[in-house]
Amino acid sequence: MGRDVSESCIDSLLTEMVSTYCNRFYANKPELAARRIEAIGYQVGHQLSERYTMERPRFSDHLEAIKFICKDFWFELFKKQIDNLKTNHRGTFVLQDNRFRWLTRMSIDQSPENGTSEELSIMADNKTMQSMHLYFPCGIIRGALSNLGIPCAVSADISNLPACSFVIRIKA
């Protein structure tokens, strides 16, 4: 089980999915588009976690499951592991990927010297579009953890591209 897929195919598919949901299906309702994209990610994460945990023993606690996400799961998806894992030991984990594969083709906007209001609003739009692309991987992580029995909320932070941080908050 498992065959190779062209990476450019995946990149194009994801870009087109975000663009279609944002510009055609839910044109003026970005929150609905975001929820839809996250739900797709949830189902994909659910399926992938079941598939990748088949060969290995089950997990004894939350930290084991999060480590699985950081190492094996991320490696299967992106051919690399998470670079940095931080936790406050009270249910919050921060996963940092210094070069997130799906964002490597995204341009990094340089902030203007003296931002006119027009340029600033364009930059805000760009930030929204960039954050739209993160709902899918957040959904994947949430789906994978939910399947392993850990209900959680996942958000992403791209203050410095191409590095990307995912914040997982486990629901008590």
Partner 1 sequence: MTSTACFIIVSRNDIPIYEAEVGSAAKREDAAQLHQFVLHAALDIVQDLAWTTSAMFLKAIDRFNDLVVSVYVTAGHTRFMLLHDSRNEDGIKSFFQEVHELYIKILLNPLYLPGSRITSSHFDTKVRALARKYL
Query: Can you give the binding site for partner 1, defined by CB under 8 A?
Result: 1, 43, 46-47, 49-51, 53-54, 56-60, 147-149
Q: Which is nearer to partner 1, 73 or 100 (CB)?
A: 73
Q: How far is the CB of 159 from partner 1 (least distance, A)?
A: 33
Q: How far is the CB of 106 from partner 1 (least distance, A)?
A: 27
- Strands (E) across 10-120 are located at 84-87, 92-97
Q: Which is nearer to partner 1, 45 or 137 (CB)?
A: 45
List 170's β-bridge partners, or say none. Answer: 152
Q: How far is the CB of 105 from partner 1 (least distance, A)?
A: 26
Q: Output the CA angle 32-27-143, nearest 5 degrees.
A: 30
Q: Which is nearer to partner 1, 24 or 58 (CB)?
A: 58
Residue 163 CA, distance from chain mean position? 12
Q: Which is nearer to partner 1, 41 or 103 (CB)?
A: 41
Q: How far is the CB of 65 from partner 1 (least distance, A)?
A: 9
Q: What residue has token string 């190779």?
A: 4
Q: Output the CA angle 165-35-130, nearest 5 degrees.
A: 45
Q: Are 150 and 48 in contact (CB under 8 A)?
A: no
